[in-house]
Amino acid sequence: MKVLQIAWKNIRQNPATSILGILLTAFGTGILCVLLLTSHQLEEQLDNNSRGIDLVVGAKGSPIQLILSSIYHMDNPTGNISLAEAEKLAANPMVKLAVPLSLGDNYRGHRIVGTDSTFLQLYGLELAEGRIWQEDFEAVIGAEVAQKHRLHIGDKIYGAHGLSSEGHAHDEHPYTITGIFKPAHHIADRLVVANLASVWRMHGDEGDEDVHEHGDEHHDENHSHELAGVEEHEHHHGEQHPHEDGSSDHHHDEPQLVKSIVGDVGTSEREITSMLIQYRNPAAIGLFPRLVNQQTAMQAASPAMESARLFSLLGIGIDSLQVLAYVIMLMAALSVFISLYNALKSRKYDLAIMRTLGASQGKLFGIVIAEGILLTFVGALLGIIIGHTALYLIGASTDGTATLLETLVLLPQEAWLVVIGVAIGFVAAVIPALKAYNTSISQTLSGN
């Protein structure tokens, strides 16, 4: 019989100890797998979702909370800011692009974002079907929202207050889906996007109909042709056409935010939740945040800095769990060692007989090594399955935009988990294998 066949047969003869070694290896590998997938995907998501955003301006409070609510849409906002003040910042020559956000509601856990079409320009969004919003309470949804809830063009959805899908439902104003974004592989896939006036009116600010008729309609309808890829589009005064390098041809003193939000309507009493800023030049990195924090009632938060802080905080918990996983793997190695060592005592006569039948010392050594490797190899494979299953259960139990983790992603680093498992099995089997190698035929058969 071949070495692997003999090793597998020996493993089956000791099911209790073999299963214990497999399970310990599986749990240790499973924890490492979850940590690997989580840390890799979170870091990737943090980078993808904040790409192109140099600064977030919002109400004073926690900078991390401002970043989480405005970029990752995973927390409640720090408050509202004056639209008039936001427009003054948008007019600063250091600002290339200013994207307003008005938050407060969700659809089944997916954040409803009130904004204008500069949001599509910032995130590089394209329509898979339909058109951009043109009226109040028209919305464009992300690819994941459409797929998860089987939504189509023309369907109506109802928002609920806050981030929880169990919040108070706004039955009086349904949103009509007019478009679906192409998959973007970032946070926009999990959002419902409408104009600012819709969010204002949803929360009791009916305002002036000119907010829609002269402001959002003029800006969003014109840009819908450009962003949807329609070849026929007219040139209107105030419309910006991006160059090939991504820059706009508007004058540097004329902000994209002004007039695109409210047109001819006064903005002194209007409020938005936050504003996403893209700098015109690197000099703004040191100057603009200081200007916001010292000369306005708002705060400026850097996505790069706050994301690094957030990931460092998460890293503390990840490191602690990694220590636990390695302890479990060490226990698995000890279990495999004890299992093989004890098994040799009951099989020493079998080994001696195999020697008399012509088996070499090297073959006996190889059989024991193969047993250790098989135990931990099976455990490592089972651990990877457990890790992905655990990640799926975590994602299934998490609502909406907090579901950032993908289950069916296989990372190259996971192969190292199998290598680690095999190495543990090899090390645990070395001493029992040496004992088998040094088996004395005469002493064993004579009972000494």
Task: Quote the tokens at residue 311.
Answer: 């990931």
- CA dist., res. 170 & res. 98, Å (int): 29
Backbone angles phi, psi at 182, to 5 degrees: -70, 150
The pLDDT of residue 1 is: 55
- CA dist., res. 276 & res. 297, Å (int): 17
Instruction: Determine what percent of the chain is predicted with pLDDT higher than 90.
Output: 36
- How many other C-beta atoms are found inside a 10 Å radius of the C-beta of residue 78? 22
What pLDDT digit, counting tens, does each position of 94-120 carry? Answer: 999 999 999 988 998 899 999 998 999
Backbone angles phi, psi at 306, to 5 degrees: -70, -35
User: Residues near 49 by Cβ (< 8 Å), separated by ≥ 6?
Assistant: 71, 72, 186, 187
Q: What integer best gives the mean pLDDT of the chain?
A: 79
Average pLDDT over residues 257-264: 40
- CA dist., res. 410 & res. 407, Å (int): 8
Average pLDDT over residues 124-136: 93
Does residue 219 surpass a pLDDT of 50?
no
pLDDT band of residue 186 (cuts 50, 70, 90) is: confident
The distance from CA 202 to its chain's CA centroid, rounded to whole angstroms, is 30
Query: CA torsion angle for 233, 238, 242, 243 (degrees, to 10)?
Result: 100
pLDDT band of residue 448 (cuts 50, 70, 90) is: low
Does residue 212 surpass a pLDDT of 60?
no
DSSP letter at 169? Answer: B
Task: Quote the tokens at residue 231.
Answer: 């070849």
The pLDDT of residue 341 is: 80
Contact 173, 205 (CB under 8 A): no
DSSP letter at 102? Answer: E
What pLDDT digit, counting tens, does each position of 142-177 carry? Answer: 999 999 999 999 999 998 887 766 666 777 789 999
Query: CA torsion angle for 222, 226, 227, 228 (degrees, to 10)?
Result: 100
Instruction: Determine what percent of the chain is predicted with pLDDT higher than 70.
Output: 78
pLDDT band of residue 260 (cuts 50, 70, 90) is: very low
The pLDDT of residue 272 is: 94
The pLDDT of residue 96 is: 93
Helix, strand, coil tally for the chain in percent (to 5):
55, 15, 30
Whether this model's pTM surpasses 0.75? no
Residue in the block written with tokens 């459409």 = 146
pLDDT band of residue 401 (cuts 50, 70, 90) is: very low
pLDDT band of residue 445 (cuts 50, 70, 90) is: low
The helix/strand/coil state of 218 is: helix
Does residue 366 surpass a pLDDT of 90?
no
Q: Which residue has the higher pLDDT, 431 or 319?
A: 431
Query: CA torsion angle for 177, 182, 183, 187 (degrees, to 10)?
Result: -60
Contact 377, 422 (CB under 8 A): yes
